[in-house]
Amino acid sequence: MGVVTLTVVENEQEADVIVGLLQASGIKSFHRSTNLSSSAYGAVSPTEVVVDESDLARAQKVLEAR
């Protein structure tokens, strides 16, 4: 199975928090920068949180519970 995007957040720091929650729940995950950016309020670098497709449902539950 491949990897899928769980969510896209505003920055790498927020992605780090989510990846930490997922990993604490036994879900392998990582984050990567998107090709999108916004300068409305300064430099914003949208970041994808990515999980294995087989873990997507569990990861969504962890994300909803936070």
- The sheet with strand 3-9 has its strands ordered as 3-9, 47-52, 29-33
Average pLDDT by consecutive 10-residue portion of the chain (66 residues)? 93 96 97 72 78 97 93
The predicted model scores a pTM of 0.84
Count up the domains in the chain and report the number: 1
Domain span at residue 33 reads: 3-65
| Cα(25)–Cα(22) distance, integer angstroms | 5
CATH code, domain carrying 12: 3.30.70
